[in-house]
């Protein structure tokens, strides 16, 4: 059994000052074709310390595409045989911690200049504290696209909180070309 690290009391106090918001709307999520869109995991990513199951979504379609493209492009060879599916999901939350912008994230001890980096220590602490305080997820700025992401703590939800609206296979080559022609910048 691993030892539990004590939570940051100042962080708990800061988060207790947030009432939380309810959210009902559409989000986007990309998964491998054979994976259930609502299958969560303790991924140990930006807003997940790896101790509970989370579902990462974006409030914008392009936000979901940018997030996944970033992670796929970090591999030595971009996976050409893997099929990704973009899902649009209507979700209902009850008490979500909303961190409106980078200033709000910075106020909790996350350096804004390294927010897009792969150093997740402080953001994972925030997610752990939010879960401990009974929040059902976090709305926070995307590190890859100018939008918000919604990270859901799945033990706080039932299947009735989700409705799959639409799904489409992602053609990464076509997406890269379209993005480059729209923005004049290659995806990073």
- Give the CA angle between residues 30, 31, 35 to the nearest 5°: 150
Q: What's the whole-number average pLDDT of the chain? A: 90
d(CA 125, CA 105): 12
d(CA 184, CA 140): 27
Average pLDDT over residues 28-45: 88
- Residue 30, token pair as written in the block: 């990309």
**Pairing mode of beta strands 137-141, 96-98:** parallel
The pLDDT of residue 1: 45
The 10s digit of each residue's pLDDT in 128-149 is: 999 999 999 999 999 989 999 9
Whether residue 94 has pLDDT greater than 60: yes
Beta bridge partners of 92: 24
d(CA 172, CA 186): 13
Whether residue 2 has pLDDT greater than 70: no
The CA-atom distances, in angstroms, between 150 and each of 23, 90, 97, 184 are: 10, 12, 10, 28
Structural domain spans, the chain: 9-183
Task: Kindly report whether the global pTM for this prediction surpasses the value 0.75.
Answer: yes
Distance spanning both ends of the chain, measured CA to CA: 40
- Residue predicted with more confidence, 147 or 80: 147
The 10s digit of each residue's pLDDT in 47-74 is: 989 899 999 999 999 999 998 888 777 7
In this prediction, residue 111 has a pLDDT band, given cuts at 50, 70 and 90, of: very high
- Residue 114, token pair as written in the block: 């390294």
- Residue 183, token pair as written in the block: 């923005």
Cβ–Cβ under 8 Å, residues 129 and 47: no
8-state DSSP, 73:
H
């Amino acid at each position: 059994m691993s030892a539990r690290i004590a939570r940051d009391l100042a962080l708990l106090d800061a988060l207790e000052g947030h009432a939380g918001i309810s959210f009902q709307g559409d989000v986007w999520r990309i998964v491998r074709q054979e994976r259930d869109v609502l299958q969560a995991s303790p991924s140990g990513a930006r807003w997940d310390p790896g101790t509970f199951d989370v579902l990462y979504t974006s409030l914008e379609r392009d936000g979901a595409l940018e997030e996944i493209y970033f992670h796929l492009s970090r591999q030595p060879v971009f996976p050409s045989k893997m099929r990704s599916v973009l899902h649009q999901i209507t979700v209902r939350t009850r008490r979500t911690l909303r961190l409106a912008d980078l200033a709000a994230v910075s106020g909790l001890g996350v350096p804004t200049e390294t927010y897009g980096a792969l150093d997740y220590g402080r953001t994972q602490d925030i997610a752990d504290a939010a879960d401990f305080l009974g929040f059902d997820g976090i709305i926070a700025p995307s590190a890859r696209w100018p939008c918000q992401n919604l990270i859901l703590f799945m033990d706080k939800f039932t299947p009735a909180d989700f409705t799959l609206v639409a799904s489409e296979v992602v053609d990464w080559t076509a997406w890269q070309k379209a993005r480059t022609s729209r923005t004049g910048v290659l995806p990073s």
